[in-house]
Amino acid sequence: GSTIGASSALLHVSDMEILYSIYFLTLLSVGSCILDPCYYYQDGTTFDLTHPFYEDIPAYPGLDPQAFDLNSAYEYEDPHFFLSYNYSVSGLAGTSMTSPAVFYPFNRQISEIPFSQLVRLIGRVIDISDQVKLNPNYEATVDDIVCNENEYGCFAPGTVVIFYTGWASRWPNQERVFGLEGLLGLDLLPISYNYPGISEEAARYIASQPNVYGVMIDSPGVDSGAVPIIGFDIYRSSRILARENKYIVQNVNLECTLPNINLKIYILPLYVLGGTSAPCRIFAHVCQDQCPVPALPPSLPPPPPPPHPPPALLPPPPQPSPPARLHVSGIRRI
C-alpha cells in the first residue's frame, strides 16, 4: 500500500512539474508576443499582422500631433467596479486602411468596401526587402511583380498583394519608421521622408488587375519617401490605385514569415459610415495542406407538391319543403 501511495505521489509531483513547465513556457511565449506583436496563435498557423494602438504611436509628423488619445470616462471602485474609456484615433495612424474615397470622392468609402473583398483573401507576398536594404526609398517595380507571378502564378480572383519591405522592424520608433534619423524639426512638417513604396508603373500594373482587391505594405504608405511632399501631387501611386477602387493598407506588421502558398488574409477595418480611412485589424492564416474551399450548403429538395384536394361533393338535393300549415286565426261559430 505504501509503495502504491509513493508511486502516486511521485506521479503527482511529476504531473505538477509538467504543468508548471507548460505554464512557464506559456508565459515565455506570451512575453515574446508582447515584445513582437506579430505572433502566432496556438495552432501555429494564424498570425496577427497588426501594430497595437497606444499613446505616442508613430504618426505623420506635423499632420497627426496626437494620433491616439485614451481617457477614462467612467471609473468606480469596488465593490461595484466599473471602468470605461473614451478614445480618439486618427484614421491614418498605425495599421490602417486608406479607402479609394480619400482621393476620389465618388469611389468607395470604408463602409462601402464589400465584405467579400476583406476576408478569405488570397495573400500574395512580394519580397523587396533586399532592395530596401540598399535603398530605403526603393519603389517596387513591375519587374518585381512579374518575377513573383512567374514563380507563383498569375493573381487569382480575390487576391491582396502584400509588399514585404522589412520596414516593420523599425516600429515603434517614430524617427526610424519615417526615416527621419538625424533630421531636425520633427514637430514640423519635414521636407521629405525616407521609406519604401511602390512605383507608379507598378501601381498601374496592379490597378489593371481585376482579380486584385487591394495592396498591403509594412511601410507608412505606397508612395515612398523618394516622392517630395511639397505640393498636392504627392500621392501618385495611391491615386492610381484608388482610381480603380483598390484599397491600401499601410503599416502592416510583417515581422512574421508568410508563405506564398495556402495563405489567407482577413482585413477588419473599423466600420465607419462616411469614413475614408480607418484603423484595422489584420489576420493571416496559413493552411497546413490546402485551404479548403467553403462548401455550399446542401440544396434542399424541392417541397412536395400540395396534395390534390378531394373532389368536391355535390350538395345534397334540396328536400321538399313541408306543406304550409293553415293558420287559423279564429273559429267562426254558425
pLDDT value of residue 8: 41
State the average pLDDT over residues 80-86: 87
Total number of domains in the chain: 2
Q: Are residues 21 and 112 in the same domain?
A: no
Q: Are residues 206 and 80 in the same domain?
A: yes
Residue 27 has pLDDT above 50, yes or no: no
Q: Are residues 104 and 244 in the same domain?
A: yes
Q: Find all residues with CB under 8 Å of 263, minimum gap 6, and list them.
A: 122, 123, 124, 125, 284, 285, 286, 287
pLDDT value of residue 133: 96
Whether 46 maps to a domain, the answer reads: no
Higher-scoring residue by pLDDT: 39, 132: 132
Higher-scoring residue by pLDDT: 111, 331: 111
Lowest mean pLDDT among 88-92, 187-191, 202-206, 238-242: 187-191
Instruction: Report the C-alpha gap between 185 and 178 in whole angstroms.
Output: 13
Whether 160 maps to a domain, the answer reads: yes
Predicted TM-score (pTM) of this structure: 0.72
Other Cβ atoms less than 10 A from the Cβ of 87: the count is: 12
Q: Are residues 79 and 32 in the same domain?
A: no
Among 37, 215, 256, 50, residue whose Cα is nearest residue 121: 215
Tell me: the pLDDT tens digits for 227-258? 665 555 678 999 999 999 999 999 999 987 78
pLDDT value of residue 231: 56
Instruction: Report the C-alpha gap between 51 and 95 in whole angstroms.
Output: 6
Instruction: Give the H/E segment covering residue 96.
Output: strand 96-98
Whether 62 maps to a domain, the answer reads: no
pLDDT value of residue 170: 94
Identify the top-confidence range among 36-40, 54-58, 222-226, 231-235. Answer: 222-226
Whether 55 maps to a domain, the answer reads: no
Q: In this structure, what C-alpha cell is assigned to residue 247?
A: 484599397
pLDDT value of residue 92: 80
Whether 266 maps to a domain, the answer reads: yes
Q: Are residues 165 and 251 in the same domain?
A: yes
State the average pLDDT over residues 19-43: 40
Whether 91 maps to a domain, the answer reads: yes
pLDDT value of residue 183: 54
Tell me: the pLDDT tens digits for 281-294? 999 999 876 665 54
Residue 185 has pLDDT above 60, yes or no: no
Tell me: the pLDDT tens digits for 135-182? 999 999 999 999 999 999 999 999 999 999 999 999 999 889 988 865
Last residue of a domain, one of 286, 313, 329: 286
Distances in Å between the Cα of 54 and the Cα atoms of 61, 168, 177 are 17, 16, 16
End-to-end CA distance of the chain: 131
Q: Find all residues with CB under 8 Å of 268, minimum gap 6, and list them.
A: 118, 119, 280, 281, 282, 283
Identify the top-confidence range among 36-45, 158-167, 304-313, 315-324. Answer: 158-167
pLDDT value of residue 15: 55
Q: Are residues 231 and 275 in the same domain?
A: yes
Q: Are residues 116 and 235 in the same domain?
A: yes
Q: Are residues 21 and 110 in the same domain?
A: no
Q: Are residues 104 and 225 in the same domain?
A: yes
Whether 52 maps to a domain, the answer reads: no
Q: In this structure, what C-alpha cell is assigned to residue 133?
A: 536594404
Residue 320 has pLDDT above 60, yes or no: yes
Question: Which CATH number goes with the domain that contains 88?
Answer: 3.50.30.50
Q: What's the mean pLDDT when you consider all of the chain?
A: 78
pLDDT value of residue 302: 61
Q: Are residues 23 and 98 in the same domain?
A: no
Q: Which domain holds residue 16?
A: 11-36
Phi, psi of 176, deg, nearest 5: -75, -35
Higher-scoring residue by pLDDT: 244, 225: 244
Q: Are residues 91 and 228 in the same domain?
A: yes
Counting residues of the chain whose pLDDT is more than 90, the rounded percentage is: 48
Q: Are residues 163 and 277 in the same domain?
A: yes
Whether 47 maps to a domain, the answer reads: no
